Amino acid sequence: MIIDTTYLLRLSGIEIRTDLLGAIDANKTRFSFDDLGVSMISLFEIQAKVAKLNLPPKLAADAIEVINSDFRVEPFYDQEIVEVAHSLSKRLGDYIDCIVIATAAANKEELVTEDSKIMKNRGHIKETYGITVTNYKELLSA
């Protein structure tokens, strides 16, 4: 399963409504930490979010260290990811989101996200790329 950046923000001290990592730790999902992958672009997103919120850069560095040691980090520059992201950008606009989706598609893995635009397009994503897109609430009820 590829997880969107949102679920990693807590690692840098940024509060979010959903605690996917906590739910996995408490065995409330069908996934374990060994099942999780993240796009390398999420590391950039964490840095950008910490900078935007004017938080200490050490928070981003510490979060990235944890992610690199505890998660499967997938590169965003493989040809298939670049091609799928480019194709999706015409429909979704946000290229970073497109990279995250393309990472799931290239690895043939489920994607979990809270992004409303991605969720609105999950039928198209499933039909075109064969991957399931879900969110935190759906994971907990599955």
Which domains can be identified in the chain, with CATH numbers?
2-141 (3.40.50.1010)
> Pairing relation of β-strands 133-134 and 111-112?
parallel
N- to C-terminal Cα separation, the chain: 14
pLDDT per residue as tens digits for the range 88-106: 999 998 999 999 999 999 9
Residue for token digits 């606009």? 93
**pTM for the whole thing?**
0.92
Q: For residues 54 and 110, give the distance between their C-alpha atoms in angstroms, rounded to a whole number.
A: 33
pLDDT per residue as tens digits for the range 32-69: 888 999 999 999 999 999 999 999 999 999 999 999 99
> Pairing relation of β-strands 72-74 and 111-112?
unpaired
